[in-house]
Amino acid sequence: MYLYKSKLEKDVESEKPYIWNTVAGYWKQKDKDKDKGKDKDKDKSTESKYEKLKQELVDVTKELEETSKKISEFKFKLYQLNQDIYKNRLMSYQKKKYSQQRAVKIQEEGFFPSVPKHSLE
């Protein structure tokens, strides 16, 4: 958006009707009267293009200000879950941990009692 704004500023500056163009044409009034129709159309189109670009630049500037204001005022939403949900989560975590420990203990050799192996001699 900022790049677009800078491009618009350059376009507005390039289309801006400069004062020395009107001053230079002031002394050539007779030439203006001859080409009156052509110059008016050209001047109007240039001015209208300049005005359009200028208005577009103002609109983009306002939009940028509004967007930056929205960004600065933005706050994340905080979602507070019910306490029961937290308890259930902790319980499920503890159950998983306990079942993992139990699975490891079951796999140990000495966990289950073994049948005595007495030899009769």
For residue 118, being part of any structural domain is answered with: no
Percent of the chain with pLDDT over 70: 71
Q: Which residues contact 5 (CB under 8 A, 6 or more apart)?
A: 57, 60, 61, 64
> Is 14 contained in some domain?
yes
Query: Distance (Å, rounded) from C-alpha 42 to C-alpha 58?
Result: 24
Range of the domain at 46: 1-103
In total, how many domains does the chain have? Answer: 1
Q: Give a yes or no: residue 94 inside a domain.
A: yes
Per-residue pLDDT, averaged over 105-116, amounts to 82
> CB-based contacts of 12: which residues, under 8 Å, 6+ apart?
50, 53, 54, 57
Residue 121 lies in a domain: no
Assess if residue 112 is contained within a domain: no
Report pTM: 0.40
* 99, pLDDT greater than 90: yes
pLDDT of 83 over the 80 cut: yes
Given a cut of 80, whether residue 29 has pLDDT beyond it is no
Domain assignment of residue 90, yes or no: yes
Cα–Cα distance measured from residue 46 to residue 40, given in angstroms and rounded to the nearest whole number: 10
Average per-residue pLDDT for the chain: 79
Assess whether pLDDT exceeds 60 at residue 27. no
* Full DSSP string of 51-108: HHHHHHHHHHHHHHHHHHHHHHH--PPPP---HHHHHHHHHHHHHHHHHHHHHHHHHS
